[in-house]
Amino acid sequence: MTYDAKRQPSADVSARRLGLQFEQLVRIGLRLNPQITDIESNIPIRSGKVTVGEADLLLRLGDAWWHLELALKFYLREIGTEGLKGYYGPNRKDRFDIKWQHMLAHQTQIFSQPAAQSLLQSRGIERLYKACLIKGWVFQHPNDPRSTYPDPINPHHAGGWWVRQTELNTWLNTHPSSARFMIVEKPYWLYPPGRITGRALSKNQLERELVKRQGAVQIWVVIGESYSRQVLSRGYVVQDLWGMDGN
């Protein structure tokens, strides 16, 4: 499919799944680039009637064709663990080193499979470049003094904080009394703060609300209300055993 680069695509991200929102936003950005003339997304690779995989994006930039694999990640940096293996998803079901190797060894190699050759030939693609695009946030504990990051983490990445439940009161007391806090559910992590309708909580209200919660909870520290609301920082409150004894 060929896109008119002058056409302004809609930025209304309505997908409930966070990953789909991210993919939609990436496509919107790419379509606004006048050098990109062709974009296909979620391309199934089939061998006969069997789907052997799916490529995130296939695009033409100038005269070059690119295969782009996408990922949106929110990683907490574990204290005392070096390298990418120290970066975990909020509920510890995902680890950066495993995800990175999977993207390099499997996801970006999908067009090397024999099943993909006819698809490339049908589009006249003789040479295909490949790349990974990982966006997201890295959250670091306030007591973790490290300021350098392993490859491929951009040192200028978006960042935040994380604390355990028993550390929450001490952490809250580092904020001014005027600060307010929002519990933000996963489908809204990419939303502008003014688009989120949830109420902002005081320190005491936040502590009472978190007693009812299980697992990791994303918190935004905010000022202002409604469409004028601004995020000062974002972070996670996790259970006390997070990162201990393999939890």
161 and 192 in a single domain? The answer is yes
How many domains, in total, are found in the chain?
2
**CB-based contacts of 196, cutoff 8 Å, min separation 6:** 182, 184, 188, 229
50 and 120 in a single domain? The answer is yes
128 and 167 in a single domain? The answer is no
122 and 172 in a single domain? The answer is no
The predicted pLDDT at position 226 comes to 76
The predicted pLDDT at position 4 comes to 41
54 and 87 in a single domain? The answer is yes
43 and 121 in a single domain? The answer is yes
127 and 177 in a single domain? The answer is no
Q: Domain for residue 151, yes or no?
A: no
Q: Domain for residue 129, yes or no?
A: yes
53 and 94 in a single domain? The answer is yes
Q: How crowded is residue 236: how many other Cβ atoms within 10 Å of its Cβ? A: 22
pLDDT digits (tens, 9 = 90+) for 117-154: 999 999 999 999 999 999 999 999 999 999 999 999 99
Strand runs (DSSP E) across 103-216, as ranges?
Answer: 128-140, 158-164, 180-183
Residues of the chain with pLDDT under 50: 1-11
Give the range of the structural domain holding residue 27, as residue numbers without chain letter. 18-137
122 and 40 in a single domain? The answer is yes
The predicted pLDDT at position 7 comes to 42
The predicted pLDDT at position 5 comes to 38
Q: Domain for residue 4, yes or no?
A: no
